Chains A and B, each alone.
Chain A
């Protein structure tokens, strides 16, 4: 099967779900969620059996569609992430239904199971995009879906506010992206990233010397738009408010899926610039500034937070900073003594998915039980449900980057690349960030174990969350001892 049928399949799946929602029986909408999950699991199976190259009969496709081990890995991430988000939604549906059509009934929740499938298709396409235009289209598919998902709880003011903020800033960043692409196209006469790569790598790029400023200007505009997607400084301001206001599954999807898609786009766009002598120094400089500021902002601003969801928002900014650091310290040679930046970013995002999705599952369980998302809702969790507290402690320790958890390696690899590239400022600020990270993640662990519980009533974990949390935590620990499998996946 040709690889691009996979995206087509996922889009069709989404359309079928929408039809089912519109014309199917009213009432219990969670069957739509189960159908979506089933369909995506089938897509995972298809992913294993797709061909690894584009058939010769459709050579035109190769101009804007690439299928390599990296693309496959990010498609895999997108599918896994969407499946987890849908599972999370099933446990979240009671809260969701309170703020939609006919509060308390599930009448208004149907589309919420179909929309993530479209976003998933966009992310999968983005993983394969090698042309600025196809990349833009894929990105917009994701973003427009998210406009709806963020504001989905339309009877909740917080969700609406988040939706408006996301819409305005998202539209702004789309504008930057198109404008940047226009500048690059105007300078180089192409939007094909492979062609751009050869043009920049060509030692005769001297012909481009007088066009360096417009090219870099275009790149800077594109970077701004990407910073919006990955949640990096200077486009990070929307994150805390939107994350806090959006329905929790959307927040999880934003902070993992959307971010991963943003990073694969960033890798594809930046690679030609970082590989070439022509623009490397300037690109590295801009990226280093962005990475350092993102690490500092995310970690330091997280310290005073008292709301767990907001804390996770700042933590997602902080993680974006560490991943940017790995890109800044560009290593492109797969045969070299260190991992390549692409591998490090993929690894980081893969482990980040496990830990962050786990944290959101915990949040939904706690929200269901206590009705609150504040850190104080975690007080005395160790007495109310020791297993949940232990799981949360492991996941947070992993997010903080403690050794023997998967979270440690991502940071280790990023620092290793940065040290190897002698980015001392990045390394120094990174360590400050890690130290601050210990502080704010341990604040939650402290609440769970040291504080007395507000009520002694035990907390029940719903079945789906129980298995999901168990699997995610187990993987976090296993990959903490043996991380090589993720790298094997990444290397094909």
Chain B
């Protein structure tokens, strides 16, 4: 049944290319996917084979077309994809005459992302991601804005190169593991000789790193997102980019030892993401470039959680690192999609995204200002919104080791965490500055007479905002899915006091084994 999630968008895309009415078909497929995704997630029993599918497509090497909800991580990212896809299809206003490229591409990106997150076989995990990249490139180059050709060529070269490095790493991994098949079950059950892990880990870090815009491989991201049509930047920044992080977390148990030697490098690079790119973001003069850079910067936090996981040595030694990364991936995906969607609206209404040409937009477009403010504050990490839950969990995971043994002093992860906290300040600076310049102050020519969001335009924005608020107030809506994960890791729980406003702040007691259980 789960295969439907991939087949529906592909079928709709082909139907549209063959002549079906574009927008209704795309919307129908996205809505159907949303409903099905929710049903699959909520009825999931913890058995990956439920509703899954495993067909052998090759005997040597033993490759299966295997799809299913592997664990909580797959479920959350699947939900993220169907949510953002629905909003992206709904909010995309395509230029006349390009429906037959615009909507099928959007749906193919969604199908590829879903395939990558739902594959339980390494081969299709990789292959589906590539399927999503091609329409991304084509859309940016064909229907993008501004310096679209250069941006599209840059992202193509970078990501193709990243994919090849990744492929090399994965081939080595499979060869070293010597498992019976490429199914995750078989791969994760095998062990890789310690002497080969280090090399494999390097390939995977660089390969996945390029795909996630890890510093210093990040320079493709901001121009590409700024040039891309709104649905593409929403889907790529919001969903597809998470593929690299998902892959690192998924394969982590196989190369946990091999990643250790690279920990210092990773910490330096992720601080590059948070601090260096953070300062770069402050300096941006265009709203879309600022958003693109901020999306690069926030990847640093997810890498921080991964670094904490690497430092701890295993998932059970730092049980909140992985949930932290996943919650933040979800929150960032929703918030950046909302921001890109709204900045597209701003450009349509005012004709510009140059910050110096904007101002006073809140007067004429109050609901646009409100929703943008909400998403912006979420991405800073305002308590009560999803990103806060994620960031707090990330910082807590950074200090887990210290909490377990305060006498050990501050390790590299703790230092990195303290430095990363400054990233929150940096985010506040650039988001609030951009907000002030866009929405406040005197009304200028560009914003004079700009109309507010129409009802139809509000639907996708409010829809996304809902998914910032719900997990923000009650992170357990997300974290509950992690309870299905491997029995070795204690399922983390966040529980609120009845008399406290539910702000999503986890209660943490240093004395207990798991940091998130009630005491």
**Which residue numbers of A lie inside 8 Å of B, CB to CB?**
337-339, 382, 386, 390, 393, 397, 402-404, 408-409, 412, 415-416, 419-420, 427, 431, 434-435, 438-439, 442, 445-446, 449-450, 481-484, 487
Contact = CB atoms under 8 A, between A and B. Distances in A.
B444 interface: no
Interface string B145-187: 0001100110011001100100110011001000000000000
A449 to B, nearest CB: 5
Nearest to A386: B100
B249 interface: no
Contacts of B148: 450
Contacts of B497: none
B39 interface: no
18 contacts: A393-B134, A397-B134, A403-B123, A403-B126, A403-B131, A404-B130, A404-B131, A408-B127, A416-B175, A419-B172, A419-B175, A445-B138, A449-B141, A450-B142, A450-B149, A450-B152, A484-B58, A487-B59
B134 A339 contact: no
Given A442-B137, A487-B58, 18 more contacts: A339-B60, A382-B142, A386-B17, A386-B101, A403-B127, A404-B128, A415-B171, A416-B175, A419-B171, A419-B172, A419-B175, A446-B153, A446-B156, A449-B138, A450-B142, A482-B57, A484-B58, A484-B59
B408 interface: no
Given A431-B164, A445-B138, A449-B141, A483 B153 contact: no
A484 B57 contact: yes
Nearest to A340: B60
B95 interface: no
Nearest 3 pairs between A and B by C-beta? A403-B127, A450-B141, A438-B160
Contacts of A337: 60
A265 B183 CA distance: 37
Contacts of B160: 435, 438-439, 442
A382 B153 CA distance: 17
A409 B57 CA distance: 12
Interface residues of B, number: 34
Interface string B50-62: 0000000111110
A374 B322 CA distance: 52
B65 interface: yes
Contacts of B137: 442, 445
Contacts, number: 78
A408 B137 CA distance: 19
A416 B168 CA distance: 10
A376 to B, nearest CB: 15
Contacts of B60: 337-339
A435 B163 CA distance: 9
A397 B130 CA distance: 11
Contact of A481 (B57, B59, B100, B149): B57
B490 to A, nearest CB: 37
B164 A438 contact: yes
Contact of B130 (A393, A402, A416, A445): A402
Task: Give the secondary structure class of B's interface.
Answer: helix
A472 B156 CA distance: 26
B284 to A, nearest CB: 25
B164 A481 contact: no
Nearest to B59: A484
A112 to B, nearest CB: 37
Contacts of B171: 412, 415-416, 419
Contacts of B172: 419
A427 B199 CA distance: 15
B436 to A, nearest CB: 37
A438 B69 CA distance: 32
Contacts of B101: 382, 386
B177 to A, nearest CB: 12
Nearest to A422: B175
Contacts of B141: 446, 449-450
Contacts of A439: 157, 160
Contact of B175 (A390, A397, A420, A431): A420
A105 to B, nearest CB: 41
Interface string B334-352: 0000000000000000000
Contacts of A415: 171
Contacts of B130: 402-404
The CB with the most chain B CB atoms within 10 A, among A402, A403, A412, A434, is that of A403
Nearest to B133: A402
A415 B171 CA distance: 8
B61 A338 contact: yes
A435 B166 CA distance: 12
A492 to B, nearest CB: 15
Contacts of A404: 127-128, 130-131
Nearest to A403: B127
Contacts of B134: 393, 397, 402
A412 B164 CA distance: 12
A449 B142 contact: yes
Interface string B106-129: 000000000000000001001110
Given A403-B130, A420-B175, A439-B157, A481 B142 contact: no
A427 B101 CA distance: 37
B131 A435 contact: no
B168 A431 contact: yes
Contacts of A390: 17
A420 B178 CA distance: 11
Contact of B164 (A386, A409, A420, A435): A435
A275 to B, nearest CB: 20
Contacts of B127: 403-404, 408
Contacts of A481: 57, 65
Contact of A416 (B61, B142, B149, B153): B61
A420 B142 CA distance: 42
A420 B101 CA distance: 42
Contacts of B59: 484, 487
A227 to B, nearest CB: 27
Contacts of A487: 58-59
A65 B200 CA distance: 47
A318 to B, nearest CB: 15
A435 B164 CA distance: 7
Contact of B156 (A338, A427, A442, A483): A442
A434 B172 CA distance: 16
Contacts of A483: 57-58
Contacts of B149: 446, 450
A449 B128 CA distance: 22
Contacts of B17: 386, 390
The CB with the most chain B CB atoms within 10 A, among A339, A404, A427, A431, is that of A404
A386 B148 CA distance: 20
B164 A434 contact: yes
A80 B148 CA distance: 42
B305 to A, nearest CB: 29
The CB with the most chain B CB atoms within 10 A, among A416, A446, A481, A483, is that of A446
A384 to B, nearest CB: 14
Contacts of B156: 438, 442, 446
A420 B65 CA distance: 24
Nearest to A451: B149
A390 B17 CA distance: 10
A450 B140 CA distance: 9
Contacts of A484: 57-59
A402 B17 CA distance: 22
Contacts of B175: 416, 419-420
Contacts of A482: 57
A368 to B, nearest CB: 24
Nearest to A439: B157
A70 B77 CA distance: 46
